[in-house]
Amino acid sequence: MPAALRVLHAAAEVFPLVKTGGLADVVAALPVAERAAGCDARLLLPGYPAILDALRTPRTVCEAGPAFGALRVRLLRGRLPDTDMPAYVIDAPYLFRRAGGPYLDAAGAEWPDNAQRFALLGWLAAHLAAGDADDRWQPDVVHAHDWHAALACTYMAGHAATRARSVFTIHNLAFQGLFPLPDAALLNLPSRWLTSDGLEFHGQLNFMKAGLVHADLVTTVSPTYAREIGTVEFGCGLEGVIRARGASVVGILNGIDDQQWDPAMDPALAARFSAQDLAGKLACRRALQQELGLDVDDDALVLTIVSRLSAQKGLDLVIASLEPLVQAGVQLALQGTGDPALEAAFRMAMDAHPGRVQARMEWDEDRAHRLVAGADAIAVPSRFEPCGLTQMYGLRYGTVPIVRRVGGLADTVVDATPEQLADGTATGVVFDAATPASFERAVRRALELRRSPASWRAMIQQGMQAPLSWAGPAQAYLDLYASGG
């Protein structure tokens, strides 16, 4: 029997220990699905306090310091709780064991040594790939996730002993990891790599570009986004680099953890339900209205948003169209944090529409589940969206997605046109222009659709039965690893 393919996933976040967005969900679920398919997948993570405290049975694999400004660097091997996932964790107290977030301090400013912190992540991934960090395990593939791990591909390209292939996944091209070019001297990056054909980008050092230039294969998190990032509109200045990679840029749609997100088993919900028995969804709806202080109004369209509050997410479109939508019978329930101006705008909307608009500017995972389960529809009006998980959570929970036709939103939601309603394939409402008027029309379409209970129920059930688990994407990645392209 051939040995299992060995894959190392290098990333800066993993749910539930450290999470700022969908990256953490992917890193928590994809390696688990790959292991279920017979792959020997493992993680490499920074030693933030939450990760070090959770790591089970940690053992020192190697002493790697001093490096990148840290006098002490140890590579630990252990297992993560719940999933029992094998994980390497970088114990570098000077770089990682600090209060605040993974990228920002408590005041919201970027850590000034982020270049060194995440270069160390890539550097140790390359040493594991070369076989000189753990003499008991060596990956066949290093899968680097987003800019934080992108230098793994560069360090691997410069390590003569490396036989492993590198795969780099873009989760969001807008966040590229830009640093002063002289910082390269702190990162063991030779001058031959600091050109416009390499890591230099308009006079800066670009970590994202390192992955694009040096990875054997580049993937992103939906087929549509893979096409979009080769254009000026979505390429964030890197569209030429992406087009130059040609067919080696592949879009593989993310999945969701269908065990964690399962309305028939979810302990956070007021009632359980399924596509075959939707009675519990009405109970969740009424419980959500009561929990948030919304009017218990069975005729309203309860529209939810669970999102980072930013212009990327199109939430200014929601604010601009909210007054007429509330007058038309919409209730809005929102959870998210981010742009202070957007937070203030939603607070003002709450004051202006008591009982019709409620927003929670804090993150609560259980409440997020209740918001998705209890709403009639969930809005994701993004200006761009590499994949998006929220709309898939909505589909899974019988909550109709209202989305803009971009990225993974276009790949996962089938618009409720008359033809698609007639043939039973519709799962949501899709609009095109990033304008308040287009968003308002889309929500009004949902209002009208809900007034036809049979069509609405059929659309809900179609969405709930969509194949959204990680099994398919994990197999697609395994096939990609094995093919070499």
pLDDT score recorded for residue 485: 58
pLDDT: which is higher, 22 or 27: 27
pLDDT tens for 270-287 read 999 999 999 999 999 999
How many of the other CB atoms lie within 10 Å of CB of 183? 16
Give the per-residue pLDDT at 21.
Answer: 86
pLDDT tens sequence across 139-149:
999 999 999 99
**Residue 324 has which token pair?**
């007429």
Q: How far apart are CA 376 and CA 356, in angstroms?
A: 14
Confidence of residue 162 (pLDDT cuts 50, 70, 90): confident
Q: Taking residues 6-29, report their average pLDDT.
A: 95
**pLDDT confidence tier of residue 108, bands split at 50, 70 and 90:** confident
Which class for 86: exposed (0-12), middle (13-18), buried (19 or more C-beta within 10 A)?
middle
Is the predicted pLDDT of residue 3 greater than 80, yes or no? Answer: no
Give the model's confidence band at 252: pLDDT under 50 very low, under 70 low, under 90 confident, else very high.
very high
**CA pair distance 345, 160, nearest whole angstrom:** 55
pLDDT tens digits for range 164-196: 999 999 999 999 999 999 999 999 998 999 999
pLDDT tens digits, 357-370: 999 999 899 999 99
Residues in CB range of 276: below 8 A, 6 or more apart: none
Closest by CA position to 257, among listed 12, 9, 15: 15
pLDDT at 266: 98
**Residue-wise burial string across 320-353, b where 16 or more C-beta atoms lie within 10 A, e elsewhere:** ebbeebbeeebbbbbbbebbeebeebbeebbeeb
C-alpha 247 chain-centroid distance: 24
pLDDT digit string, tens, across residues 406-442:
999 999 999 999 999 999 999 999 999 999 999 999 9
Amino acid occupying residue 104: L
Specify the pLDDT at position 106: 87
Q: Residue 313: what pLDDT?
A: 96
For every residue of 311-378, DSSP letters joined together read TTTTHHHHHHHHHHHHHHTEEEEEE--B-HHHHHHHHHHHHHSTTTEEEE-S--HHHHHHHHHH-SEE
Distance, CA of 185 to CA of 164 (rounded, Å): 26
**pLDDT-derived band of residue 2, with 50, 70 and 90 as boundaries?**
low
* Structural element, H or E, at residue 44: strand 40-46
Per the document, the length of the chain is 485
Rg over CA atoms, the chain:
23
Q: CA-CA distances (angstroms) from residue 435 to 334, 406, 455?
A: 20, 14, 27
Alpha carbon dihedral 58, 62, 63, 68, in 10-degree steps, equals -100
* Prediction pTM value: 0.94
Instruction: Name the residue with higher pLDDT: 301 or 107.
Output: 301
- Mean confidence (pLDDT) of the chain: 96
- Full set of structural domains in the chain with CATH: 6-255+470-483 (3.40.50.2000), 279-464 (3.40.50.2000)
Q: Alpha helix locations (H) across 97-199?
A: 114-130, 146-149, 151-157
* pLDDT-wise least confident of 117-126, 153-162, 175-184, 439-448: 153-162
Identify the pLDDT of residue 1.
Answer: 39
